[in-house]
Structure 1
């Protein structure tokens, strides 16, 4: 069957019916891809039909399948034909690029190639343009963007610098330089360019998004968060902005918010048909979710107590004694005091009967004798410690909440409140 199809194809070539011959040879080689004699005539047909790449592939396959059957002269002839075809490809691409150079659609096509992720093809076309017109500033700018995408930082920097030398006031080039700077880790330089561009009309959501990237590179997560939030406020369908803010939220410890942002990014990418990005965002959300749930559970146990005022810089909070018949007093939260100290007035109100004494140091460096007594409980809101021995200071006007209470909790003193974290 292969031999019959082969002879049929040769007759079709002789009569000039190249399209029919190509179909016959395609059918033959699909059924029997190792039928070596069919590759050379198909290469010849493809070359005549301007399919130069296909012709080269067929000539190479013919030599691969017949390494010893061909004479030296035949192999040299095929190699020569391959070189001619490669030159024809270069000439065709050069003509195509020349047409592009005279067409206003060229740069739009290049941008579309980049948007589709066809960076190698875009780079190849731009290389040809710049061979013929080395000072074409817009081509340099576009090639800088492509080099940045392909992780060729030195080439990207060189191209955008040259473009700006040619047109120093071009705002599009300034924006491209910001993107290139981000690609090479120059967050400060990118921020400077993007901040400058914000004074002009343009896509401010895009500018905020990429300036956020710059701040994130510098580790300034608060400013990055603000810029990403501004970008989202201007365009709430930008999946990249949500995913970027999620990473900042994670760095800031806002894990629930990070999960929500990753989930929103995933939903937007799914709507846009970007399955790979959708899956990556979902995976990130799943990774963080257990940590977010654990943090939420831990935070629900935190006791937050408002600071009523400060006395000499020391916070004063309300303290409840003896929950059965509670009495409430304002006390200094003194992390340096080893035990809780109450005033004589407080002791009288609590009806404490002294059960011993101790010697202790006071603020002026001297030592005094304190009576000791017991209270059933000491509480700050729901933070409670039972059966505490307290010292009674007859000449003090302020009570001190000491380490015999505070040591039961991890205490965090903030500007307006005190957090008690259960151990």
Structure 2
């Protein structure tokens, strides 16, 4: 809708735009231009068509920590135990990191040590474990290596999970759409 608004603003000065399209046209497309003679022009090719509802998944943002959205994520450990945890959607994290408490509850065992680069330090040694499943609504990733960071208060959901999707972070939800090829 923002693309429509930006486009509309550029044509208003030429007297070509009526602000409210008829309801029947608005349901067909979110990107419509109404000319001064009342003709509707579908501008979806300029604005981009809306994704099919069947492909779009959403996660409710519970709160924000320092502006970073926090959502509920279902984890299943290698021991079969499952639990929902709050996770910060960290667009700067290449991998998913869990807290020591999450690792304990899920029965995650250390399988190695990785040297990782963080925003403040390079080559920080981090214990690595593995979870059987990470799931957000209908989206899932199996057999996922995770960093175990005792210093975290809330886990970090990283690019290893959501990197296969186009993300739209709205005020109260995050929309996940399979990335176009």
TM-score normalised over the length of structure 2 = 0.73
Moved over 2 A (4+): 186-189, 240-244, 250-253, 323-326, 361-368
The 8 Å contact of residues 132 and 142 in structure 2, kept in 1 or not, is answered as: yes
Which of 1 and 2 has greater Rg?
Answer: 1
Instruction: Measure the CA separation in 2 of the matches of 1:334 and 1:242.
Output: 49
Is residue 320 of structure 1 aligned with residue 104 of structure 2?
A: no
Instruction: Measure the CA separation in 1 of the matches of 2:112 and 2:168.
Output: 33
**2:19 pairs with 225, 228, 244, which one?**
225
SS of residue in 2 equivalent to 1:376: strand
1:300 equivalent in structure 2: 54
Instruction: Measure the CA separation in 1 of the matches of 2:165 and 2:141.
Output: 10
2:104 equivalent in structure 1: 348
Instruction: Measure the CA separation in 1 of the matches of 2:12 and 2:159.
Output: 47
SS of residue in 2 equivalent to 1:354: coil
1:403 equivalent in structure 2: 159
Show the 5 A alignment for 1:343-382: 343-382=99-138
SS of residue in 2 equivalent to 1:310: strand
**1:414 pairs with 146, 170, 173, which one?**
170
List alignment gaps of at least 5 residues for structure 2: 1-10, 24-34
Q: By how many angstroms is 1:242 displaced? A: 10
Aligned-residue Cα RMSD (Å) equals 3.0
The 8 Å contact of residues 59 and 71 in structure 2, kept in 1 or not, is answered as: yes
Q: By how many angstroms is 1:306 displaced? A: 1.2
The 8 Å contact of residues 130 and 146 in structure 2, kept in 1 or not, is answered as: yes
SS of residue in 2 equivalent to 1:348: helix
Q: Which has the higher strand share?
A: 2
**1:310 pairs with 51, 64, 68, which one?**
64
Q: Which has the higher helix share?
A: 1
TM-score normalised over the length of structure 1 = 0.33
Q: What count of residue pairs does the alignment treat as equivalent?
A: 155
The 8 Å contact of residues 56 and 175 in structure 2, kept in 1 or not, is answered as: yes
Change (3 A) 1:364 1:229: same
Change (3 A) 1:187 1:403: closer
Higher RCO (C-alpha 8 Å, min separation 6): 2
